[in-house]
Amino acid sequence: MSMCMDYQKRARDMIPGMTQLLSKRPDMFSLDVWPSFFSKASGSSVWDLDGRQYLDMSISGIGANVLGYADPDVDGEVKLAIDKGVSSSLNCPEDVELAELLCSLHPSFAEMVRYTRSGGEAMAVAVRIARAKTRRDVVVFCGYHGWHDWYLAANVGTENALGEHLIPGLAPNGVPKGLAGTSLPFRFNCIEELEALVSSHGRDLAAIVLEPIRDHEPTPDFVEAVRFFADETGAVLIIDEISSGFRLNSCGAHVLFGYRPDMAVFSKAMGNGYPIAAVVGKASVMEAAQESFISSTCWTERVGPTAALATIRKHARLEAAHRLISLGKSVQEGWAALLEKHGIRGHVGGMYPMSHFQFDYPDHLALKAYFVQLMLDQDILASTLFYAMWAHRDEDVARYLEACDKAFSAIGEALSEGNVLSRLRGHVSVAGFHRLT
C-alpha cells in the first residue's frame, strides 16, 4: 500500500470526514485514487507522500495560494517574524500596519479593521457586528459564506435553501432550531427576490450579505439595488471578498463593479496560504464590535498579518491579477475548444482566476472521477476546477491542456462505448455534503 493510501485509511479512522475542509476530501475527486496528502509544495508543484511530483492545476490550496506554493518573499518575511517570536503578552505592530494598508486600498469606506484567522469565522464576526450595530436579527444573503450557525440557519426547517449557493446538501444538524428564519437567501442578480425579502423583513433586517461576483458579473442595477435596500432599511451591507479578493485586482473585486459596502471581508488569497482574515469597514459600524464580545487568543499572533503584508505588497508590485486573469482565460478557452473537438457536451464558466467546467451528462460525476484519474496518470492534479496562481507559467497551461486533450479523447471513447464506470480505479466523485464513511 502506498503511503498516501495508508494515511487515508488512518485519517478515516481518526478524523471525522478525513480532513478539516470539505473541498479537500478525496471523495470530492475520486476516493482511493486522489493522493490526498502532500510532503512538499513549491511554485506550481506538489509532491505526495510517496515522492511523486505533480503539476497542480486544480484548487491551488482552495484558492489560498494566489502567488504559488512556498513563495520565497512571503515565506522569507514569515521566517523573520518567527525568529522574532510570533506571540507574547503584547500585540504585534503588523496588526496596525496591515489595518492601515487595507484601509488605504479601500478609501471609499474602510476606516477600521478586525482580524480573525479564517474566512468563515471572519464572516461570523462581520454578521455579529452588523447585528450589534442594528440591534436586529435577520440576515439576507446570496452566495456561499462558510460553516457558522448564522449561515446554516438558512437550512433549518427547509428542504435545501442553500442548494443554489455553491454547495448543496449542507446539513444544519447542531444548529439551534430557534435560529430558523434568521438567515434568508436570495439569488445573485435577482433584485425581485431581494425586494420581496426587504418587504417582508425590512424592520428586522441587520445585514445584506453577498459575494461581489461568482459565476457571473453583477448587473449595474443589482449593484445599485443592494445599496438602495441597505440604506432604505438601515441594514449593513457586507461584501464577502473571501474568494474574490485579490483575484481581479490587488484589493477587493467590489471596487471594479461599483459596490459601496459598509463592511468587506477578506481571507484566502490575502495570506498566500497562511491563516489570516480581516473584516474591514466604516468606523460607525465597526465600533459596534466593542458592544459585543468578539475575542480570541490566536487572532493576535504575528504570522498571519506578516504574511498578508508581504502577499498584498508583492501582489500589487507584480500586478498579479493581470496574470491570474490571463491564465484563467487561456484555460477556459482551452476547455471549450477541447470539448468541441472531442464532441463532449459540457459548459465552462466562472471568473477567470477561479474557473470551472462540467460535463453535461447524467453521470457527470463519474466522468469527473475518470478525468481526475486520467490527469493523475499524467502527473497532474486536476479536477473540474482551475484556480490560478501567479506561479503558473504559460508552459504549465500548455502541458495541462495537452493532457486535457488526451483525457477528453479517452472520455469521448468511454461515452461512445458506455463503459465509464468500468474504467474507474477509484470511486465516483461526490457533489455537495454527505457523510464520509
Please check whether residues 16 and 94 belong to one and the same domain.
no
Please check whether residues 19 and 103 belong to one and the same domain.
no
Is residue 432, in this structure, part of any structural domain at all?
A: no
- DSSP structure string for 215-232: SSPPPHHHHHHHHHHHHH
Q: Which of 338, 337, 332 is nearest to 408 (CA)?
A: 338
Q: Could you read off the pLDDT of 341-358 as tens digits, one per residue?
A: 999 999 999 999 999 999
Of 318, 333, 348, the position where a domain reaches its end is 318
Q: Are strands 385-387 and 354-359 parallel, antiparallel or unpaired?
A: antiparallel
Is residue 433, in this structure, part of any structural domain at all?
A: no
CATH of the domain at 15: 3.90.1150.10
Please check whether residues 101 and 28 belong to one and the same domain.
no
Q: Is the pLDDT of residue 437 over 50?
A: no
Please check whether residues 287 and 205 belong to one and the same domain.
yes
Is residue 104, in this structure, part of any structural domain at all?
A: yes
Please check whether residues 85 and 170 belong to one and the same domain.
yes
Q: Could you read off the pLDDT of 245-286 as tens digits, one per residue?
A: 999 999 999 999 999 999 999 999 999 999 999 999 999 999
Which pLDDT score, from 0 to 100, does residue 435 have? Answer: 45
Instruction: Find out whether 16 and 57 touch, Cβ atoms under 8 Å.
Output: no
Instruction: Find out whether 98 and 113 touch, Cβ atoms under 8 Å.
Output: yes
Q: What are phi and psi of 25, to 5 degrees?
A: -65, 135
Q: Could you read off the pLDDT of 366-418 as tens digits, one per residue?
A: 999 999 999 999 999 999 999 999 999 999 999 999 999 999 999 999 999 99
CATH of the domain at 128: 3.40.640.10
Q: Could you read off the pLDDT of 76-111 as tens digits, one per residue?
A: 999 999 999 999 999 999 999 999 999 999 999 999
Torsion angle, CA of 58/60/62/64, rounded to 10 degrees? -160
Please check whether residues 263 and 336 belong to one and the same domain.
no
The residue type at 334: G
Q: Are strands 236-240 and 183-185 parallel, antiparallel or unpaired?
A: unpaired
Q: Could you read off the pLDDT of 307-320 as tens digits, one per residue?
A: 999 999 999 999 99
Please check whether residues 219 and 358 belong to one and the same domain.
no
Q: What are phi and psi of 38, to 5 degrees?
A: -120, 150
Please check whether residues 66 and 76 belong to one and the same domain.
no
Please check whether residues 64 and 110 belong to one and the same domain.
no
Residues 6+ apart with CB under 8 A from 282: 109, 110, 111, 112, 262, 263
- The whole domain housing 261 covers 72-318
Q: Could you tell me the pTM of the whole model?
A: 0.95
Number of domains in the chain: 2
